[in-house]
Amino acid sequence: MELERILNAGGPSQGEIIRSSDGKVPHKIAWLQCIGSRTKKCGHSYCSSVCCEYAIKQLILVKEHIPDARTAIFYTDIRAYGKGFEDLYARARNLDGSRFIKKRISSLKEDRNTHDLILKYVSDDHTVIEETFNLVVLSVGLIPLSENQSLSQILGYL
């Protein structure tokens, strides 16, 4: 939601993509998908079904604002539901400097001197990789309101 607001021309930076920590334009940006979801450990084993689409759309918008930006989406599975979303995903995959990496991040820490973020993950050959990004977007899964349970019962879904 915060990146959506930053990208908006009516947002706090009039649509200019800048880091809130120091006002600098980020040139290496990562999206981390399924934060707090798709895992029983956090109590949310389901997929929100919209986060991937938001991240893909945001990646394309970021590349329009900062054409030389290097971007990466770290994902579990890309879920591109609905008409036209598979095409949007293909478009994003073909953008120069964009990567889609099927990995979970094992750690994320800030470099206090530069305000950059250091991601750590394990490659396919089991090598630990540390990669630095100027900006990291956490795609947190949607959680239904507790009031929705009573509505589901009324509608016969439970």
Q: What is the pLDDT along the chain (158 residues), one digit of tens a residue?
A: 889 899 999 989 999 999 988 999 999 999 999 887 766 676 666 677 788 899 999 999 999 999 999 999 999 888 877 889 999 999 999 999 999 999 988 999 999 999 999 999 998 899 999 999 999 999 887 766 777 778 878 888 76
Q: What pTM was computed for the model?
A: 0.85
DSSP string, the chain: -HHHHHHSTTSTTTT----TTT-PPPSEEEEEEEET-SBGGGTB-S--SSHHHHHHHHHHHHHHHSTT-EEEEE-S-----STTHHHHHHHHHTSTTEEEE----SEEEE-TTT--EEEEEE-TTS-EEEEEESEEEEEEPP---THHHHHHHHHT--
Domains of the chain: 2-155 (3.50.50.60)
